[in-house]
Structures are given as C-alpha cells and as structure tokens.
Amino acid sequence: MKDQRHKRKEIYSVLMVSNTNGKSRQFQVSAFTLRLCAVLLALLCIAIGWLIYRASMTDGALQVLRQEIASQKEQIAQLETDKDALTKDKLTLAAENEALKQRVEATEAPEEVPEEETSEEEEESPVPDLYPSDGVGMQKTSYSDEQPYISISAYTDAHIVAAGNGTVTAVSSDDTYAHIIEVEHEGGYTTRYLLHQDAEVNTEEGAQVQAGDSLMTITSDDCQLDYQVLLNGEPIDPLTIIDAKG
C-alpha cells in the first residue's frame, strides 16, 4: 500500500498577553481567513478612497457653479448700471437740446402768425410734450409702477415750465413737497410738478398757461423735481411724451 500523505493546513497562532495580570490567550487563524481579511480590508480602503474622490469632485463642481453664478450676477448688475447711465445721459441730452432750442427761439424775432392758425395748431397738439425745466438737469430716478413719475435735478435760476397749454388747477404743498402745481390740459392730460425744496412760485390757481411759461423759479442748488403725467387719471411714463416730440 502506498502511503497517503495528507496536506496539512497552514495555521497561524496569535498570542495576546495582558499587560496587567500577565495572562495570555492564544488564537489560531487559518491562512485563508487572513487572506480573506486582507482582501476585504483592501476593498474597504478602495471604496473609501473612491467615495472621497467623488466627494471632492462634487465639491469642486459646486464651487465652479457658484463662481459662474456670482460672475453672471456681476455682469447683470453691470448691465443694469450701464442701462441707468444711458437713460440719464439720454434725458440730459434731451434737456440740453430743449434748453438750447428755447434760447435760440428767444433770441430770434418771432414770426407773425395769424391768431386763427395759432389756435388751430394748439388744438392739433394737445399733448404736453415740453421738457418741464428750461435748465440743464439730470434724471435721478426712472418711472416705474411703484414710483409713477421721474425725478429731475434742478439748479439756481432755472425755471420749472409748463409742459403744454392748460389751466392751473392746484397750487399747494404737503409734508413731502414744498410746492405742488397741477396743470390740466386738453385731451385728458394732467401734469404735476412736485418740488421738494422751496422756490419762487410764478403762477396761481385758475391761471391760463402756455407751453414754456414759468411756473416756479429755482432759488437754491441741487433741487429735485418729481414730474408726473396723467392721462385720463392714470399715470404714464413722461419720457414717452418727451421722446414723441423729438
């Protein structure tokens, strides 16, 4: 008979000795178990590493998105600023053009126009489309639903003028405005001139005014006029009327 040799299993002994009472314990672990534990530990480390990598990649992507959003917000804010600046420049140029036009008309000799033709022209143009100041001013605020008027700066010796032919229906004041003048025009238009600072009033309630007539004379620098236009009792953007004139 041939000798049958049995393959012996490779077994490792682990000796654990207590540092307090000197007692010891011995454990036996097979090589297969050790290899399995090593493989599981390696897989666990790989999984943890992968999760850390994915977390860092996600955090990086979120940071890039936040930077892009912040950059877009800055661009939008800059565009809004540029838009406001262009609007103010547009109104300033319109005011300068109107002031120069009025000065040229004042220096030139007026042409003789028959009374009947003049009255016909006035009836054909009921829109109060004149700029409400004969001085150079800058728009401070724009028209909106929350603020149904535009704010214009005015300076000493400038005049607040009637935007069209009409009748002065109110000359008053309140806690906000030192002077409030309201003029009623044909075609359902009403203009309101609301000045925050004190000024010299050149008209009275019930007076008939022509386009360009002085309603108030500015007596101090850096005044603010809030100019409002109503059509059939509803506020409209005054710039649409001023633009319509030219």
Percent of the chain with pLDDT over 90: 36
Distance CA 167, CA 208 (A): 5
16 in a structural domain: yes
Is 146 contained in some domain?
yes
Cα–Cα distances in angstroms (integers) from residue 201 to residues 7, 161, 213, 220, in the given order: 120, 11, 12, 13
Those residues whose C-beta lies under 8 Å from the C-beta of residue 184, and which sit 6 or more positions away, are: 166, 167, 169, 190
230 and 142, same structural domain? yes
Considering the domain architecture, whether residues 139 and 37 belong to the same structural domain is answered as: no
Question: What are the tokens at 168?
Answer: 């002065």
Residues 50 and 143 in one domain: no
CA distances from 178 to 151, 158, 181, 216, 226 (A): 15, 17, 10, 12, 12
User: 175 falls in which pLDDT band (50, 70, 90)?
Assistant: very high
Task: Judge whether 219 lies within some domain.
Answer: yes
Same domain for 150 and 227, yes or no, is: yes
Contact 202, 243 (CB under 8 A): no
Q: Which of 48, 65, 82 is the last residue of a domain?
A: 65
Chain-centroid distance of CA 148 in Å reads 16
**CATH code, domain carrying 180:** 2.70.70.10
Nearest Cα to 70, choosing from 81, 62, 80, 58? 62
Residue 49 lies in a domain: yes
Asked if 148 and 223 sit in the same domain, the reply is: yes
Within a domain: 88: no
Within-domain flag for 37: yes
Digit-coded pLDDT (tens) for 89-114 = 888 888 888 878 877 776 765 555 55
Between strands 11-17 and 234-236, the pairing is unpaired
Model confidence band, residue 245 (pLDDT cutoffs 50, 70, 90): very low
Q: Which residues contact 7 (CB under 8 A, 6 or more apart)?
A: none
Bridging pattern class, strands 189-195 and 214-218: unpaired
pLDDT at 157: 87
pLDDT digits (tens, 9 = 90+) for 14-31: 667 777 776 777 767 777
Nearest to 163 by CA among 143, 183, 135, 188: 183
**CA 61 remoteness from chain centre:** 30
Whole-angstrom distance, CA of residue 54 vs CA of residue 75: 32
Which residue in the block uniquely carries the two structure tokens 């489309």? Answer: 129
3-state secondary structure of 65: helix
The answer to whether residue 162 is domain-embedded is yes
Rounded Cα distance between 161 and 106, Å, is 15
The whole-number average pLDDT for the span 209-224 is 91
How many folded domains does the chain comprise? 2
* Domain co-membership, 57 together with 137: no
Mean pLDDT of the chain: 82
Question: Measuring CA to CA, which residue among 153, 120, 119 is closest to residue 136?
Answer: 153
What backbone torsions phi and psi does residue 199 show, to the nearest 5 degrees?
-155, 175
Choosing from 65, 82, 108, the residue where a domain stops is 65
Domain hosting residue 30, numbered range: 11-65
Domain assignment of residue 193, yes or no: yes
Domain's final residue, options 47, 65, 83: 65
CA atoms of 82 and 165, how far apart (whole Å): 36
